Structure 1
Amino acid sequence: MRHFVRYFIILVLFIPVITACTQDENQAIKKHTDKISIYTTLYPIEDFTRKIGGEYVEVTNLLSDGMDPHTYEPTSKTIVDIAESDLFMYSGAGLEAYAEKISKAVESEEVLIVEAAKGVDTVHHGHGKEVTVSKPVHENEEEDSHHNHQHGDKDPHVWLDPLRSIDIAETIKESLISLKPEHKKFFQQNFQELKANLEALDSKFHDVIHHADRKQFVVSHAAYGYWEEAYGIKQIGISGMNQNSELSQKELTNIINEVKEKQIDYLLFENTSVSNIAQLIKDEVGATVLPIHNLSVRTREEIQNQDDYFSLMRKNLESLSTALND
């Protein structure tokens, strides 16, 4: 009996110590993970958030490894995880149909929902076959409408314009400041560095395109309308802004004829594009295929290589420079 009493007293004496240690450990863990928990959709949003937030953010991007932003659907677990985070940030302009579903599901929770490209001027005229391919607009109007219905008359790829990306980055910066105002100076300094780099990238695009021999290029996915507006070049899109759309035989023939007529020697194709279409046009016109990237999602190889927004855009500029010069 005395042994039992002794053990009971020891246990009672140690309970406060154990509890205090546990509380200290929990506080230490919380302090260690005291970051803004953020979920993003498209890669440029993720990259800009990491560059501005630095050590004070923990960013999870929903799409990776070449996933298709047009067809992505979040799981129930993903939605629960986002509801427990501090910030859900998407681009907007109609590309992420799933973002609205997520926003409605978590709007009653304590999570800040931000449309990063809200207020950014968008290209509202259609890009792709109905604009860049020489063909009459009559019997194919309904078909073209189907090809571009997903984005309406907006081109959602706003981040491909470095100057518009500055506006996106500023929205990200302000969102982070609202959640962690004590780190305002840190976020502002990182934003200014990012802004300077985006301005320098814009200057490089202007310089390369200004000195180019031609001002037209053929691209698999008509996602580059912002380059048309910003730099005065013209894309000939093999598919519309929705890269999953299928071409009719007549549309394909029109594109091949236009490429031959303009003596275009290069085709710019995205990694996610349907390769048999590229091969068909390549064989028909004898053109060389070059890589191009709309940056919405990185591939596994790009993640392993630690490619970021700027390295991918520089690669785009290299391909564009080759395609625009004889």
Structure 2
Amino acid sequence: MRALFFLGLLLGSQANAVEVLTTVKPLQLIASAITEGGQPPGLLLKPGTSPHDYALKPSDLGRIQDADLVIWVGPELEGFLTPLLSERDNSLPLLTRLPVEHHDHDEHDEHDETDHHDNHNAPLTQHENDAHDDHHGHDHTGRDPHVWLDPHNGLHIARLIAERLGAIDPENLDRYQHNLALFESKLRDTDRRVMERLTPARGIGYFVFHDAYGYWEAHYQIPSLGHFTVNPERAPGAQTVARIHRALENASAECVFAEPQFRPAVINAVVRGTQARVAVLDPLAGDIDNGPDGYFNFMLKLADDMAVCLLNER
């Protein structure tokens, strides 16, 4: 009878578990830290899938319908979800709720990519208690949606998730708050370690495949010389390719970073005949195991992948 009693409690707990669905892996990693001890969050887009050109499947519609909370960046990244989620109560779009007004995508292919946007680049400990809850109702066209690449935004995302889950599932509010406090502590340490890893690489030139790293570059003060394309589904312009090739010939850049979701032949072509090294950065955390420490592991791996190439540690 005792075993049946505990089995009943377990089944009841599973039946009442909060179903969280995230669109991309970095959001799942952050959510996993907050839901630890409960139902792990699901992932809509499988690792290796780009949100830039995704098409919803019938099975996706069912998962979205059944979820208690769907966490997504917003139309700027997952445009395919806009008609479905714009009016749903279980939707948590992040971009309009984050203090990320100062980093925009450049919408022009043939631009001077040496321009960089300001962002808060102080260590996380200096701003961890800042609250920004008034970023609603603005026009966010062109805003960079890769918000998770700044630890300040990572912390805000975790707070938003904990707040929403506490409202949905007040019985477990203490657990969400405990997990959030643990997340903040670990994130401060991770931010310090990433800063230490990347500091020796400051000033070394590099190019990235697409314009996804603005928050990362600004926070860690390691700006790129530019990118091949704003939208990875669009081929870079001829002037951009020629300018990058000239920079590589002049040894202005040590590295060119590709991405695992895309295999642009243009990168291999543009580095041919130069001394530039080619490496891979994954802003979507495709090979990071999901779990409460996943976001920290992702940030550390991204920093290490970048530093290994820039500092020629291979």
* TM bucket normalised to smaller: 0.7 to 0.9
Contact 2:210–2:232 under 8 Å retained in 1: yes
Matched residues in 2 for 1:113 and 1:161: separation? 22
- Structure 2: runs of 5 or more not aligned: 1-6, 116-139
Task: Kindly state the Cα deviation for residue 43 of structure 1 after the two structures are TM-superposed.
Answer: 1.1
Select 2:152's aligned residue among 163, 184, 206.
163
Q: Residue type of the partner of 1:74?
A: L
Report the counterpart of residue 57 of structure 1 in structure 2. 39
Q: CA–CA distance in 1 between the matches of 2:104 and 2:31?
A: 29
- 1:4 aligns to what? none
**1:19 equivalent in structure 2:** none
Query: Which residue is equivalent to 1:208?
Result: 197
1:129–1:183: structure 2 CA closer, same or farther, 3 Å change rule? Answer: farther
**What is the alpha-carbon distance in structure 2 between the residues aligned to residue 27 and residue 45 of structure 1?**
30
Instruction: Say whether residues 1:124 and 2:110 are aligned partners.
Output: no
Select which of 81, 85, 88 maps to 1:99. Answer: 81
> 2:166 aligned with 1:177, yes or no?
yes
1:317 match:
303
Q: Distance in 2 between matches of 1:307 and 1:282?
A: 36
Displacement after TM superposition at 1:51 (Å): 1.4
Corresponding pairs, count: 280
- Distance verdict in 2 for CA 1:223–1:203, change over 3 Å: same
Partner of residue 146, structure 1: none
The amino acid across from 1:289 in the alignment is V
The question of whether the paired residues in 2 share the 8 Å contact of 1:218 and 1:268 is answered with yes
Q: Which amino acid aligns with 2:111?
A: E
Q: Choose from 47, 69, 75 the match for 2:51.
A: 69
Determine if the alignment matches structure 1 residue 289 to structure 2 residue 278. Answer: yes
**Aligned residue in 2 for 1:18:** none
Does the CA contact (< 8 Å) of 1:88 and 1:113 recur in 2? yes
Deviation at 1:304, TM superposition (A): 9.5
State the TM-score, normalized to the length of structure 2.
0.78
More helix by share: 1
One-letter code of the match for 1:319?
A: D
Picking from 60, 71, 86, the partner of 2:68 is 86
Aligned partner of 2:262 among 273, 291, 298: 273
Q: Which residue matches 1:257?
A: 246
Give the drift of 1:215. 4.4
Which residue does the alignment assign to 2:121?
Answer: none
Q: Which amino acid aligns with 1:214?
A: G
Structure 1 Cα separation of the partners of residues 141 and 65 of structure 2: 29
Cα deviation for residue 50 of structure 1 reads 1.6
Deviation at 1:220, TM superposition (A): 1.3
Between structure 1 and structure 2, the one with the greater Rg is 1
Match of 1:198 in 2: 187
The structure-2 alpha-carbon separation of the partners of 1:252 and 1:167, relative to structure 1 and needing over 3 Å to count, comes to same
> With structure 1 as the length reference, what TM-score do the two structures score?
0.76
Task: Work out the CA distance in 1 between the residues paired with 2:8 and 2:181.
Answer: 36
Report the alpha carbon displacement of residue 26 of structure 1 after superposing the two structures with TM.
9.0
Deviation at 1:175, TM superposition (A): 0.9
Q: Which of 116-125 and 195-204 deviates more?
A: 116-125
Matching residue's letter, 1:316: L
How far, CA to CA, are the matches of 2:47 and 2:151 in structure 1?
Answer: 24
